[in-house]
Structure 1
Amino acid sequence: MSRILFAWELGGNLGHMTRQLPIARRLRQQGHQVFFVVRDTAVAAQLLTPEGFAYAQAPVNVDKKRLPHPVNYAEILIASGYADPAVLLGLVQGWISLIRLFKADLIVVDHAPTALVAARLTALPAITIGTGFEIPPNCLPLPSIRPWETIPTERLLRAEEYVLERLNALATFLKGGTIERITDLFQGARKVLATFAELDHYGTREGENYVGPLYTGTTGQLITWHQIDKPHVFAYLRPDAPGFENLLKALSKLSAEVIVVAPGIKPAHIQAFATLNLRILTQPVQTEQLFKMTDCAVTTGGTGTVSQCLLAGIPLLLVPQNVEQFLMSLRVEVLGAGTAARNNRQEQDFAGLLEALLKKSCYRLSARAFAQQYAGYAPAETTDNVIQLIDSTLTNRDAVSSQ
């Protein structure tokens, strides 16, 4: 059996872990040894510790200097430490050390570009799993992630050249091969676009194999709706979401039964807003059965939650906290299956958006059309496809090693 390392470096919240978990469970059942390297050990403690998976902290850039508004994938890398050769060397060497300490036979990468660099330098087979945002299109220049702004092409090109210069200088120093494009990192790995084409943050790409989202709706606390005669509204939010308190006020005044899952919420907010009609929970809940009777959902725009809702035919109010989530909001709006809260996030703004989603049939019909288009989709089948890809990669590795 093989030793398989799961890597997560960038991004936050639960989505990366919930995408990796179904794969890791299956690999462990097959007898493989699995180890996680994670960006957020608090998330790992919540999701991995109960399942008995071992994990360690990923190498991260501790420099507080940040590029305020990255405009493409290259600038995301610059903002993550690639601007400083010493920081980049430390990050890559950290990943190389983890790979060697674990004696990994294969690495499964989820939004961990520096782990991909390390895999390339150590000739370790890699599989990269992600949504559209985490695996940028193979084009020059890398496209803007702020389509509502006019970004000069020169800036996009300059950012990639800047990153390439540092990556190739590092590769030369560590006696590894150089690359011509940032996307060569992804071309060198076996790629899994774990989303639907309609929900690709960059828009649908021709010739790509969209396998569908990876998630589990059966992890967490089992809860049910209590009131059959009222509309049901489900919300998965972070307390630092813009307008969070105003949104709670709007939800509390709906003529509906509301369940809010808000990890990290202050006890004072629970005391202020929880009622018989509005339950506030701090831990993940099982959504598979719950979504069968949900009329509207509120979320920040994570791919997993959005996909689950649309597959259940549930229209969405999106409250994005970052560029990635805002791009997802735009995809949902193009589908006609929801709407995004933008600059105006007062109580009355949220109330109007919620009422529209519950009363206007156009949103519900569009969400149901999406659900019908993908009727029969099962995340377990996507997991099967990824497992087969891992098996074939390991088989090829063993064949090469034996020659």
Structure 2
Amino acid sequence: MSRILFAWELGANYGHLTRQLPIAEKLRKQGHAVFFAVRDTTIAARLLEPLGFAYTQAPFDTANRRPVQPPANYAEILLASGYADPPTLCGMVRGWLSLIRLLRADSVVIDHAPTALFAAYLAGLPAAVIGTGFEIPPDRSPLPSIRPWDNIGLDRLQQAEEKVLDRLNPLTVSSGRPKLQRISELFRYASIMLASFAELDHYGVRDGQNYDGPLSTDFSGQQESWREPDKPHIFAYLRPSLPGFELLLRALSKQAAEVIVIAPGIRRSQAEALATNRFRLHTQPIALNNGLLQSADLAVSYAGAGTVNTCLLAGVPMLLLPQNVEQYLMSRCVETIGAGIAAKQTRNETQFSELLEQALHTPAYRQQARAFAQRHAGFNPEQTLNQTVRMIEELLPDRKANEQTEVR
């Protein structure tokens, strides 16, 4: 039996753990011991606790730093996440190394956890990286801009990369490991599983890159179905933190359509006050494997990668309301393939209503969403899951060596 640590450090919401869960369950069934270090223990309590997985708080920068300007590339994301301050970075790295040692991990599965990946590199421990295009930057130096709509100079991108390397390399030297010449070397150290389709890569299509397709958990929550077959059907996955959230709900409720909304975090009393027979609002994720999406005419979301993948595989056009740069980039991908539209600065009820009407009644969006689904009709998530598990197991030392060796 090998001991495998799943690491989640950056990012929010359910997507990271729902991507890791099917992998972890399969590895556990095959006899491996699985542990989680998570950024958000509340989400872990909801998803991991019922399945009996052990978890702890991941080391990450708790300073809530506010950069002077939005990060321009992956290197600046790292600088805004504690890497600009050497003691903070050292503390995070030592925290991950301590977890690896205390758990006697044989390998680490990285999901948006760059410091855990760096710790695995320092420890000489096998690592597998799973993620979307945004979470796994391309093998380039300097790392490219994540704000293509802004005029960001090459000098700024290069300076950010050099600053990160200046913070990391004293730790590599003290650990007796070779210096890093570029940040992307960390990802070359690991085995990579890019859980996306080429059209939905935040950085654009990468030459020679294998796109394995999304990994996600089929929620076993409440079953839902459409009750009014003669009306348009709108499915929405939203967050109360979305600017204009209540105005959007009001606009949705006034549509001449049947609407099902998932809004984790919304107050139950608020959901009950809005509910009608054709406008139903859920406070927790619901089951999506019963044909619900295939019968939807429109999906509305904040452009999380998991939701976008799931809806487009079902051939459903989208209205997207991105909140951060990762979601803006995903929205651009959807607009590029013509399968939907993104709201820019829309935050009043009238504008929301107009966008909903446009998205619902533009046949081209539906046509392109169905074309995406047809291009990927052969996609088999079980095959992607098996490939990922196989990749992780190939990294593991043989069991006899495992019993005699500890991570130092």
CA distance in 1, matches of 2:269, 2:64: 30
Mapping of 1:48-87 within 5 angstroms? 48-67=48-67, 68-87=69-88
Amino acid at match of 2:51: E
Identity fraction in percent: 58
Aligned pair 1:174/2:214, yes or no?
Answer: no
Q: CA RMSD in A?
A: 1.8
Structure 1 ranges of 4+ moved more than 6 A: 396-403
Measure the CA separation in 2 of the matches of 1:369 and 1:344. Answer: 28
Gaps in structure 2 of 5+ consecutive residues: none
Residues 107 and 124, structure 1, Cα contact 8 Å, conserved in 2: yes
Conserved? CA contact 1:316–1:339, under 8 Å: yes
Q: Give unpaired runs (5+ residues) of structure 1.
A: none
1:77-226 counterparts in 2 under 5 A? Answer: 77-226=78-227
Give 1:65 shift. 2.3
For residue 261 of structure 1, what is the amino acid of its counterpart?
I
Q: Distance in 2 between matches of 1:79 and 1:397?
A: 40
SS in 2 for 1:234: strand
Query: C-alpha distance in 2, partners of 1:34/1:226?
Result: 42
Q: Equivalents in 2 of 1:122, 1:373: separation in Å?
A: 42
- The amino acid across from 1:60 in the alignment is F
Distance (whole Å) between structure 1 residues aligned to residue 404 and residue 90 of structure 2: 32
Answer yes or no: is 1:338 the counterpart of 2:340: yes
Listed as ranges, the matches of 1:202-281 within 5 Å are 202-267=203-268, 269-281=270-282
Paired residue secondary structure (1:95): helix
Q: Which amino acid aligns with 2:389?
A: I
Structure-1 residue corresponding to 2:41: 41
In the alignment, residue 145 of structure 1 is paired with which amino acid?
I
Classify the secondary structure of the residue corresponding to 1:89. Answer: helix
Moved more, 240-249 or 260-269: 260-269
- Report how far residue 131 of structure 1 moved: 0.4
8 Å CA contact 1:121–1:177 kept in 2: the answer is no
Distance 2:102 2:314 in 1: 43
Among 293, 300, 303, which residue is 2:302 paired with? 300
**How much does 1:395 deviate?**
5.1
Q: Which moved more, 1:123-132 or 1:387-396?
A: 387-396
The code of the aligned residue for 1:88 comes to L
Structure 1 residue 176: deviation in Å? 3.0
> Taking structure 1 as the reference length, what is the TM-score of the superposition?
0.97
Q: How many residues align?
A: 403
> Structure 1's 98 and 249: CA in aligned 2 closer, same or farther, altered over 3 A?
same
Cα deviation for residue 243 of structure 1 reads: 1.5
SS in 1 for 2:280: strand
* Counterpart secondary structure, 1:66: coil
**Structure 1 residue 135, shift from structure 2 partner:** 0.5
Change (3 A) 1:158 1:219: farther
1:9 counterpart residue number: 9
Q: For the Cα contact (< 8 Å) 2:268–2:283, is it kept in 1?
A: no
Moved more, 183-192 or 272-281: 272-281
**CA deviation string 1:314-364 (max 9, x = no partner):** 001111110000100000000100100111221111111111222111000
Q: Helix, strand or coil for the counterpart of 1:241?
A: coil
TM-score (norm 2): 0.95
Matches of 2:222 and 2:52 in 1, distance apart? 18
Give the Cα separation in 2 of the matches to 1:359 and 1:398: 62
Whether the 8 Å contact between 1:313 and 1:371 is mirrored in structure 2 is yes
- CA distance in 2 between counterparts of 1:401 and 1:390 reads 18
